[in-house]
């Protein structure tokens, strides 16, 4: 018998789409100016009560840049007694005092983006000179304040040659883990795809060449090497819309959690239920157990390249079927 949760235990929230950086790969197409339609922290705190009552025990906060959201510390103080809190940040402007405040507010883990092993590569990605130095300093401040800290890097044409150096840098800065993430065709990344994206064989070669420094843990999102570990399933964007996963942000809208209980949306929306069912056309042969679970890989990239929710994930070497990941389908470029 296949067991399934009737509500999620982990929730991702896109707290804001405000960000001081101008990243070429930004999935949310963020800007430095706050957007009026975003939920306030007071609204998020009300939603936390609903999440906790439904069994959510882990809250993953991302943006935009969460540090740019007024009231972030209040949100952490409200969440941390009831949930493990994790926050993804660029680290821009994060000093030791802010690190200590995050710690005292209950932040359980930080994840800092390093988009290169040197200032030239990182700052070219972010569009802001000096952001590399600030990201590196942020990792050190967070670690010094006792917050477990990971480094994240999106695999692009520019970061691939520096991947080993990024791992080495992360270790020197004190990070405990490095997550190498795939590039998704969303937001500005979609518009800059031809400059950023690599074919799958070059992505796999970059990963295969890595030698993980002692004491560092490597996480990556290319099946079958990652054992298909998708972190997603429940996500809400900055406007309070349930979207299932941040990587589905341009493809779905399951409803407004400020007017409808998230659990009701989770249990009743037909597409949301179907995406969690594990129904796929083709399963990875390295995944034992056939087509159950999420053996077809990521639903966002499957849909992006095929237009079908049940298609195989082209980032899986066993399911790619000749798809050139360096080229986007014309329908995505026209969208």
For 150-201, how does the pLDDT look when each residue is reduced to its tens digit (9 = 90+)? Answer: 999 999 999 999 999 999 999 999 999 999 999 999 999 999 999 999 999 9
- Check residue 232 and give its pLDDT: 60
Q: Mean pLDDT across the stretch 297-308? A: 93
The residue with greater pLDDT, 325 or 233, is 325
* pLDDT(102) > 70: yes
Among residues 43, 51, 129, the alpha carbon closest in space to that of 84 is found at 51
- Check residue 243 and give its pLDDT: 97
Residues pairing with 177 in the sheet:
150, 217
The correct answer on CATH 3.40.50.150 for the domain covering 10-220 is: no
Q: Mean pLDDT across the stretch 7-11? A: 91
**The overall pTM is greater than 0.85:** yes
Task: List alpha helices for the chain, DSSP H.
Answer: 41-53, 72-79, 96-105, 119-126, 131-144, 163-173, 187-191, 193-196, 200-208, 262-268, 270-276, 299-306, 330-334
- Check residue 222 and give its pLDDT: 84
Consecutive H or E run containing 10: strand 10-14
- Check residue 3 and give its pLDDT: 55
Pairing between strand 149-154 and 255-256?
unpaired
- Check residue 297 and give its pLDDT: 84
Query: 285-320: buried (b, 16+ CB within 10 Å) or exposed (e) per residue?
Result: eebeeebebbbbbbbbbbbbbbeebbbbbbbbbbbb
Distance CA 94, CA 61 (A): 16
Q: Mean pLDDT across the stretch 76-104? A: 98
C-beta of residue 216 within 8 angstroms of C-beta of residue 180:
no
Question: What confidence tens digit (pLDDT) does each residue in 126-159 have?
Answer: 999 999 999 999 999 999 999 999 999 999 999 9
In sequence order, which residues have a C-beta less than 8 Å from that of residue 239 and are 6 or more positions away?
Answer: 37, 38, 39
Among residues 226, 206, 250, the alpha carbon closest in space to that of 14 is found at 250
Q: Mean pLDDT across the stretch 315-322? A: 91
Mean pLDDT score of the chain: 92
């Amino acid at each position: 018998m296949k067991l399934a949760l009737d509500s999620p235990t982990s929730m991702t929230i896109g707290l804001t789409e405000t960000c001081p950086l101008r990243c070429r790969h930004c999935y949310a197409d963020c800007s430095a100016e706050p957007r009026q339609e975003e939920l306030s922290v007071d609204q998020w705190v009300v939603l936390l009560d609903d999440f906790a009552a439904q069994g959510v025990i882990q809250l993953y906060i991302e943006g935009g840049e969460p540090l740019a959201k007024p009231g972030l510390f209040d949100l952490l103080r409200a969440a941390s007694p009831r949930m493990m809190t994790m926050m993804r940040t660029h680290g821009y402007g994060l000093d030791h005092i802010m690190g200590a405040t995050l710690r005292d507010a209950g932040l359980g883990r930080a994840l800092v983006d390093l988009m290169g092993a040197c200032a030239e590569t990182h700052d070219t990605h972010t569009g802001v000179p000096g952001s590399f130095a600030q990201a590196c300093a942020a990792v050190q401040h967070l670690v010094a304040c006792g917050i477990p800290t990971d480094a994240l890097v999106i695999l692009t044409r520019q970061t691939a040659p520096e991947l080993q150096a990024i791992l080495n840098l992360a270790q020197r800065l004190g990070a405990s883990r490095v997550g190498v993430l795939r590039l998704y065709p969303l937001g500005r990344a979609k518009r800059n795809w031809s400059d950023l994206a690599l074919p799958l064989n070059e992505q796999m070669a970059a990963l295969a060449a890595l030698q993980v420094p002692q004491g560092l843990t490597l996480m990556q999102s290319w099946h079958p090497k990652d054992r298909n570990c998708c972190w997603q399933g429940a996500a809400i964007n900055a406007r309070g819309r349930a979207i299932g996963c941040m990587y589905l942000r341009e493809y779905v809208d399951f409803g407004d959690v400020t007017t409808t209980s998230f659990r009701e949306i989770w249990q009743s929306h037909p597409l949301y239920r179907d995406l969690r069912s594990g129904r796929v056309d083709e399963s990875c042969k390295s995944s034992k157990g056939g087509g159950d679970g999420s053996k077809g890989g990521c639903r966002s990239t499957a849909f992006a390249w095929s237009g079908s929710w049940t298609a195989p994930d082209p980032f899986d070497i066993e399911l790619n079927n000749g798809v050139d990941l360096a080229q986007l389908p014309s329908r995505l470029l026209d969208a």
